[in-house]
Amino acid sequence: MPASDYRTSHCYWEGSFWVFGSLRFLAPLFAEMAEHGFRYSQDVVWEKQNGTGFNNDRFRRVHEHAVLFYRGPWAEVYHAPQVTNDARARVVRKKEKPAHWHGATGSTTYVSEDGGPRLMRSVMQVRNEHGRAIHPTQKPLELLLPLIRYSCPAGGVVLDPFAGSGSTGAAAAIEGRTAILIEKDESIARRAMQRLDQEAPLLRGIA
């Protein structure tokens, strides 16, 4: 097929997606993403209450990265900054005008209040699902909810091609999004559907 025909016969998808993993896995992925037109936007660090220690000559790894890649103009890619209402009160004092200033002099003090909004931190401390997970890499809903809110508009569609336990589908239902879940392991897929029937009735019927 001529190159021109090849270009026109493929849809250029614009959007963003999150990739979970350790830096050992993610580092070589950046070049591959760049080849397909995807750029790095940001990363979130998921800090767990425990982690792996299979290499006894390294630090015990108690975190995992979630990296956001996007393609297309950033201004056109949906992103909704997340905030938490836990800002601490602080006092901001505006400095006095210098001596040569001929206008009004004096200082102004602004006082904020506890509980105000602030941008959500990029390090999230969330307990993992050990002991109750139906999949080895099951993600907790508390971790997925802000990522979905950030990158998918209300009423939008979330695609998870490695659905595993179905946590993405449950989180999408909670946030009013539709989910398309794909899982190649039939036994895991059946358990995920059972879980979603119990925890996310809005997703019944999704295979």
| Residue 197 confidence (pLDDT) | 87
Fold observed for domain 13-82+120-203: Rossmann fold (3.40.50)
Between helix 167-174 and helix 141-151 the angle, nearest 10°, is 60
Q: Please tell me what DSSP assigns to residue 75.
A: G
> Which pLDDT tens digit goes with each residue over 189-204?
999 999 898 876 655 4
Query: 113 pLDDT band (50/70/90 cuts)?
Result: low
- 135-161 mean pLDDT: 95
Mean pLDDT of the chain: 83
Q: Is the pLDDT of residue 136 over 70?
A: yes
Give me the half-sphere count of Cα atoms (radius 13 Å) on the Cβ side of residue 103.
3
| Residue 171 confidence (pLDDT) | 94
Least Cα distance to 45 among 124, 120, 149, 126 occurs for 124
Percent of the chain with pLDDT over 90: 57
> Rounded CA gap, 146 and 82, in Å?
7
Q: Is the pLDDT of residue 172 over 80?
A: yes
72 vs 116, higher pLDDT: 72
Q: Is the pLDDT of residue 121 over 80?
A: yes
195 vs 114, higher pLDDT: 195
> Which pLDDT tens digit goes with each residue over 21-77?
999 999 999 999 999 999 999 999 999 977 666 667 788 889 999 999 999 999 999
- 160-181 mean pLDDT: 94
Segments of the chain assigned to CATH 3.40.50.150: 13-82+120-203
> Rounded CA gap, 130 and 50, in Å?
9
Helix or strand run (H / E) with residue 155: none
> Which pLDDT tens digit goes with each residue over 62-76?
999 999 999 999 999
Least Cα distance to 158 among 11, 37, 41, 17 occurs for 17
Q: Is the pLDDT of residue 106 over 60?
A: no
| Residue 114 confidence (pLDDT) | 67
Structure token digits, residue 153: 């508009």
174 burial via Cβ count (<10 Å: 0-12, 13-18, 19+): middle
Q: pTM for the full model?
A: 0.78
